Structure 1
Amino acid sequence: MPEEKAAMSNVIHANFLAQPRVCGAQDTFAALLRSFADHRQPRDDVYWLKENAELLGMLASTGGAIPAEALSPYAAFYDRAPAYLEFFPQYYRFILSICLDLEDLGMGGGHGAALCAQAARNRSPLAELSDLQRGEAQRLLSRRLDLDGDAALRQRLLEFAGARGGFAVPNRKAAYELTHIVFYLSDYGRRDPGLPPEAFANLDDLGLLALLDRDHDLLAEVCLALRHAGAVPDPFWEQEVDSAHGAMRCLPLHEPSGQDDYHPWLVTGWLLRQKGAPAFARSFAGGPLTVRAPQEPPGILRQISRCLYDQGNARGGDWHVMKRTLSPELTREGQDLLQRAEGSSPRFAEFFARFARIPRAA
């Protein structure tokens, strides 16, 4: 077994065709779908497309029956989808995603194949500059069309995912690109994405960054990516995600409130459902809603980074030496988080050398 993959110690052989057995009351999701379809965003807003594509994608990928009446708020959108795609071709990925997931969740109709064929005729994926977006488009079209895979595109995505060096340093764009590469290549856990061992190490680096920063949104995505790739994340990582989701609340919204905590709520709950656990149980739903997370103690990533920067040439990459200088700078709670992060990965010392920007780090 390759050394880096073995070091993860939690890689399993997965049945990528098996979907999780999901717990949870379906009436909760019927009410949530009404809220998102009819009340959170105007239907002519791109954020309506984004949020509803994500919510339906979560439900479709985690399994579980959704009653037909729960999907009824989307009937008008589904019926008009061909006209939307014709007039708004720039949003083809959102439109396809919503319609294909509605069909997979049980909504009758045959628009999906025709919409995919229309997007293929329009050569919509070729208008994408990003390989990541081309990968998403390839996944969407392949759900209804018999396409030849783009081997060169797949190779470029895998090369990005396996490139060692940059994922132990905070870079949100690269971080979310890596998790989404795994999502698309694995079809959200339905098949083996074929990741190289280095990609698992990169996901481990991202998970440690997210843990130290208390970034539960990114941590949940990393855990999902690991599970979709056939690995089991460290239990402490998933405990942190579980606790974060349980603390969030959906509250009735009486007036516009700007950005809320919708996305962390969605992906933390997604991970719970992926494991077959209940999620979204405390949601207020059925009308306008906002998602709020409680105020939490700040993470320690920025503080550690500042300490390392201030050390200048004295900065070293030996974790066991540097720990003695960093720990006293943290609160007791911060020290506990650092200790638990160290214990969550057998690769922590290697991660730290990269995070400290030591050129000789492997």
Structure 2
Amino acid sequence: MSGLPRPLRLAINGYGRIGRCFLRALYERGLADDLQVVVINEPANAESIAYLTRFDSTHGRFPAPVALEGETLIIDGRPIALTHATTPEGVDWRSLKIDLLVECSGQYSNRAGLARFLAAGCPRLLLSHPANSAADVDATVVYGLNHGRLTGDERLISNASCTTNAVVPVLDLLHRELGLEQVLLTTLHSVMNDQPLADGYHHDDLRRTRSAMQSMIPVSTGLARGVERLLPALAGRVLAKAIRVPTLNVSAIDLTVTLARDTTPAAVNDLLRQAAQGPWQGVLATSGDPHASIDFNHDPHSAIVDTSQTRAGGPRLINLFIWFDNEWGFSNRLLDTAVALAGAK
């Protein structure tokens, strides 16, 4: 970051779970001097924005002083302007002279919608969610896999999803070393904001009308499509399911694969440990301890493979269990991608 001619000026659009975690990660990692958030656009009122920045039920108090002066959020002495627009055109992005907009509202997933931000003066967008299709963005990035291919010419970049970031490092390694014939993924995902606390009429998917905290709820998922977008060699080989579980944070993936070559659980675990200490360091980790999900709250890795749970149903049938903090791990990869964009051409 020291090679930048000036600090990069960032804006955050949508200040929910990921938007707030992104800002928190920036301060926890000491990057606030190089990546300066100068505006947050969020429809909520300024008092609520400041309060939910200071206090977080999942990740604790903000790691720097937070104050509010009118429509300006002051964090560690640095001002962040607050706007409350509900459309891309509602903010004069051009006058703010930003270098990158981190789009965390999740409301814009196709090129037509995203282009509205460009037309309103944003030079470049980084999405905290997958685009509808590969053609809707200039690049889809899973940090550690393909961030090095960024040229600096991209204007619309997706950071994929938390589950894609969690499973792609493992699948990429297994496919390179042992060959993947078939992949079955079952995500056990913590509750999200599109679920109600009590049964309510708010969603076309009738299962999502049920109380989030009283049931395990099967939901649709685009994970298979997301994996194949990043690892096209696996096209047609990936099947994915997802179940929402009544926990506040930290999710898991139960991964079963059939391989092209014989192996053992011990050999697979060794591969994963070596990758976690080598090319995937900081992104992938392993653990053999008897952990529960809460033990990975605020873990910055994209994925932590529980090596104590690796099983074999034969020499080519392997089952793995992957933990991931679906908020914090993903927000750290979003930040890593922003840093990579800053260093690109």
**TM > 0.5:** no
User: Which structure is higher in helix share?
Assistant: 1
Higher Cα Rg, which structure: 1
State TM-score, norm by structure 1: 0.26
User: Which structure is higher in strand share?
Assistant: 2
Which structure is higher in RCO with an 8 Å CA cutoff and minimum separation 6?
1
State TM-score, norm by structure 2: 0.27
